[in-house]
Amino acid sequence: MAEQWLTGIDVGGTTIKMAFVSMDGELIHKWEIPTDVSEGGLHITKHISSSLRHTLSVLGQEESVLKGIGLGAPGFIEMKTGFIHHAVNIGWKNYPLKDELEKETGLPVTVENDANMAAIGEMWKGAGNGESDLLCVTLGTGVGGGIILNGQIVHGVNGMAGEIGHITSIPEGGAACNCGKTGCIETIASATGISRIAALHIESNKDSSLYKVWNDTKTITAKDVAISAADGDEFASEVLEKVTFHLGLVIANLSNSINPGMIVIGGGVSSAGETLLMPLRRHFEKFALPRVAEGAQFAIATLGNDAGVIGGAWLAKQNMR
Amino acid sequence: MAEQWLTGIDVGGTTIKMAFVSMDGELIHKWEIPTDVSEGGLHITKHISSSLRHTLSVLGQEESVLKGIGLGAPGFIEMKTGFIHHAVNIGWKNYPLKDELEKETGLPVTVENDANMAAIGEMWKGAGNGESDLLCVTLGTGVGGGIILNGQIVHGVNGMAGEIGHITSIPEGGAACNCGKTGCIETIASATGISRIAALHIESNKDSSLYKVWNDTKTITAKDVAISAADGDEFASEVLEKVTFHLGLVIANLSNSINPGMIVIGGGVSSAGETLLMPLRRHFEKFALPRVAEGAQFAIATLGNDAGVIGGAWLAKQNMR
């Protein structure tokens, strides 16, 4: 049988990650092109199409080897039609992305929210290990996520499902969130949130190893907190204790409702590994029903920046020509 | 074409509700038989089978009119195989219910958790109005629920999905719950929880109309609270304000994750109607993302005790012979 390749595309505000992926999810070739946000992102589909053709020819492959495209983008997307209501960082507004890219490439295109696409990637080839009831939590600048139930992404009635960053963990008196509410878990467990909490309390913890960092740079990053906590610094551990209390509560409450078999923690903050997972599991188990806690394994995401394009390939495979 | 009937069966600790339902979800005939919990519930399938045959003959119908059975039961159920791990109120333990009932009746049987089955009934013919992303919240002695996404019940990895009564709403210092944790929404928003909260504060609210009830009976029911609140009693309204604050928070947090199109409130407490829904919506909107709140309609369950058997008929229809 002739070879069959899938295409995963992860569109960000600065670069577009692209990859050819085998039918069983192995990366064959990956590359990036810059995102041209001029004229409301109107040139992007042309750039993608010519980059696909160019890369195929460099690799000595016919165009017929490609069987479909799965593409992830940030913003409000109508999944069924691949219509982008608004993608602020890219410039697309009321843009029929799926139709345009299908016209340019002649391939079937599936469009998905980028966080969901990364969750699918982790389910297929990463930490999710094929588990079909999966909760992905991404701790980066913000807190994002994706929910997979019965092996399918949960979208909800208007595509907002999985936006777990705006679950309220402090109902009264919490910090202001970018979304306009207060006390969202994003204000606590994102890299920004951890940094904020550390800065808030550092002046009364001058014996912490983080105090020197603070004095030198007037900022403490989430990474600084994780490193100091791993080294046994008491204040840094207290910060992580507070963060994982709230994150454990939020994940347990969601798990009491959807009963996932696997909880994958990704994003920059997840590089803290067991320093984060250990207190997180402890708080999670306090708030989860015993049978729910039994069923749920925790894991750190393993695919890093490749999760998106691999998830895209999975989507392409579901919708092959 | 010959007539085709579906059978819905709702097994409780005291009675078994049974119904014949048309292919489009209309009740044709409903009746009840007592639940025989003797000998670990071993006689139940025989009783069901003979009651089906008897009722058919009374109605002058051939057995061939029945196309399948959907049955709901409380307890830990393995949905795929219809195996009951444990149903405390019935007596079944490690019992292959689906296999046994199929043997007795010669019909295909689908077994489901009773709360989920009621949610399906409301989706199909009740307040859910066909909405395929649906959250059902049942406020009775306890707090239960069912989650339907893409028109399918969410079970999770070990059948615990939808057990929303044990979402923690008061992480520290909450009341003890039957599940062993503290601060679960069940301790606040169930009939029992509302009654508990009212009793806790009544002695410092002697001007409330509820004080006479308390003095007479040493108990205040959730219904008492709802009636007094509807009459404008300040203390009763404060109790409902507290209850709906927590319930609104829990429903909003879950909705921020699964983005339902419809939220159906059922169970005894839901008979309070707008007295309950008005403050509930207000708190919900405070904690839900605007786009999530826009997408979510609230409704009071309309099928009452028939929700289970109608949901059972829906399940039977999915799995007809």
Task: Say if residue A78 is in the same domain as residue A33.
Answer: yes
Read off the tokens for A315: 């989507």
Task: Say if residue A145 is in the same domain as residue A24.
Answer: no
Is B136's pLDDT higher than 70?
A: yes
Residue A117 CA: distances (Å) to CA of A37, A107, A314: 22, 19, 9
Is B1's pLDDT higher than 70?
A: no
Residues (pLDDT < 50) of chain A are none
Candidates B156, B181, B260; nearest CB to A258 = B156
How far does the CA of residue A254 sit from the closest CA of chain B (Å)? 7
Distance CA A311, CA A27 (A): 11
How far does the CA of residue A106 sit from the closest CA of chain B (Å)? 29
How far does the CA of residue A129 sit from the closest CA of chain B (Å)? 14
Task: Tell me if B158 and A295 make a contact (CB, 8 A cut-off).
Answer: yes
Q: What is the full DSSP assignment across B249-288?
A: HHHHHHHHHH--SEEEEESGGGGGTHHHHHHHHHHHHHHS
Tell me the count of A-B CB pairs closer than 8 A: 144
Read off the tokens for B270: 């839901």
Angle between helix B234-258 and helix A234-258 axes, rounded to 10 deg:
90
What is the model's pLDDT at position A58?
A: 96
Distance CA B281, CA B248 (A): 7
Q: Answer whether B208's CB lies under 8 Å from B247's CB.
A: no
How far does the CA of residue B157 sit from the closest CA of chain A (Å)? 5
Distance CA B125, CA B26 (A): 8
Give the residue carrying structure tokens 């069924």: A80
User: Going by C-beta distance under 8 Å and a sequence separation of 6 or more, which residues neighbour residue B7?
Assistant: B18, B19, B20, B21, B52, B66, B68, B69, B70, B107, B312, B313, B316
Candidates A157, A287, A291; nearest CB to B160 = A291
Chain A environment of B168 (Cβ under 8 Å): 249, 252-253, 287
Task: Say if residue A183 is in the same domain as residue A163.
Answer: yes
Q: How many residues would you count in chain A?
A: 321
In sign, the C-alpha dihedral spanning A307, A311, A312, A317 is positive
How far does the CA of residue A278 sit from the closest CA of chain B (Å)? 19
Q: Answer whether A210's CB lies under 8 Å from A224's CB.
A: yes
User: Going by C-beta distance under 8 Å and a sequence separation of 6 or more, which residues neighbour residue A146?
Assistant: A113, A115, A116, A117, A118, A119, A120, A134, A135, A136, A138, A153, A162
User: Which value does ipTM take for this structure?
Assistant: 0.91
Task: Tell me if B257 and A147 make a contact (CB, 8 A cut-off).
Answer: yes
Task: Tell me if B152 and A150 make a contact (CB, 8 A cut-off).
Answer: yes
Candidates B160, B164, B289; nearest CB to A166 = B289
How far does the CA of residue B141 sit from the closest CA of chain A (Å)? 19
Number of CB atoms found within 10 A of residue B230's CB: 16
Q: Answer whether B228's CB lies under 8 Å from B209's CB.
A: yes
Chain A environment of B256 (Cβ under 8 Å): 160, 163-164, 166-167
Task: Say if residue B98 is in the same domain as residue B214.
Answer: no
φ, ψ for residue A121, nearest 5 deg: -60, -45
Task: Say if residue B143 is in the same domain as residue B277.
Answer: yes
Task: Say if residue A248 is in the same domain as residue A311.
Answer: no
Give burial (CB, 10 Å; 0-12/13-18/19+) of A74: buried
Is B245's pLDDT higher than 70?
A: yes
Q: What is the full DSSP assignment across A129-160?
A: TT-SSEEEEEESSSEEEEEEETTEE---TTS-
Residue B309 lies in a domain: no
User: B248-260 burial by CB neighbour count: b if 16+ within 10 A, else e?
Assistant: bbbbbbbbbbbbb
What is the model's pLDDT at position A130?
A: 86
Residue B307 lies in a domain: no
How far does the CA of residue A73 sit from the closest CA of chain B (Å)? 19
Residue B275 lies in a domain: yes
Candidates B286, B289, B295; nearest CB to A179 = B289
Chain B environment of A161 (Cβ under 8 Å): 149, 257-259
Sheet holding A262-266, edge to edge: A152-153, A143-149, A134-139, A262-266, A297-300
If you measure CA to CA, which chain B residue comes closest to A177? B289
Residue B311 lies in a domain: no
Chain B environment of A157 (Cβ under 8 Å): 131, 133, 259-261, 295-296
The total of structural domains in chain A comes to 2
Task: Say if residue B94 is in the same domain as residue B132.
Answer: no
- Which of A78, A152, A258, A284 to mutate against chain B (most B CBs within 10 Å)? A258
Task: Tell me if B289 and A154 make a contact (CB, 8 A cut-off).
Answer: no
Distance from the Cα of residue A234 to its chain's centroid: 30
φ, ψ for residue B137, nearest 5 deg: -120, 120
How much is the mean pLDDT over chain B?
95
Task: Tell me if A287 and B181 make a contact (CB, 8 A cut-off).
Answer: yes
Distance CA B154, CA B156 (A): 6
Task: Say if residue B134 is in the same domain as residue B109.
Answer: no
Distance CA B222, CA B267 (A): 12
Give the residue carrying structure tokens 């944790």: B181
Distance CA B30, CA A213 (A): 73
What is the domain-level CATH number for residue A152?
Answer: 3.30.420.40
Task: Tell me if B166 and A256 make a contact (CB, 8 A cut-off).
Answer: yes
The three-class DSSP label of residue B291 is: helix
How far does the CA of residue A128 sit from the closest CA of chain B (Å)? 13
If you measure CA to CA, which chain A residue comes closest to B255? A161
Residue B317 lies in a domain: no
The three-class DSSP label of residue B125 is: helix
Of the candidates A52, A50, A44, the residue with the CA atom closest to the CA atom of residue A96: A44
Give the model's confidence band at B198: pLDDT under 50 very low, under 70 low, under 90 confident, else very high.
very high
Task: Tell me if B156 and A295 make a contact (CB, 8 A cut-off).
Answer: yes
Is B321's pLDDT higher than 80?
A: no
Task: Say if residue A82 is in the same domain as residue A224.
Answer: no
Task: Say if residue B104 is in the same domain as residue B148.
Answer: no
What is the model's pLDDT at position B78?
A: 86
Q: Write out pLDDT tens, residues B38-88.
A: 999 999 999 999 999 999 999 999 999 999 999 999 878 888 899 998 888
What's the N-to-C CA distance of chain B in angstroms?
A: 16
Q: How many residues would you count in chain B?
A: 321
Chain B environment of A292 (Cβ under 8 Å): 156, 160, 163
If you measure CA to CA, which chain A residue comes closest to B297? A157
Task: Tell me if A133 and B162 make a contact (CB, 8 A cut-off).
Answer: no
Chain A environment of B172 (Cβ under 8 Å): none
Residues of the domain holding B232: 127-302
Residue B121 lies in a domain: no
Distance CA B274, CA B280 (A): 9
Task: Say if residue A135 is in the same domain as residue A108.
Answer: no
Identify the domain boundary among B70, B92, B114.
B114
Is B170's pLDDT higher than 80?
A: yes
What is the model's pLDDT at position A74?
A: 87
Read off the tokens for B259: 């983005």
If you measure CA to CA, which chain A residue comes closest to B283? A171
Residue B315 lies in a domain: no
Task: Say if residue B38 is in the same domain as residue B180.
Answer: no
Residue B41 lies in a domain: yes
If you measure CA to CA, which chain A residue comes closest to B180? A289
Distance CA A86, CA B5 (A): 48
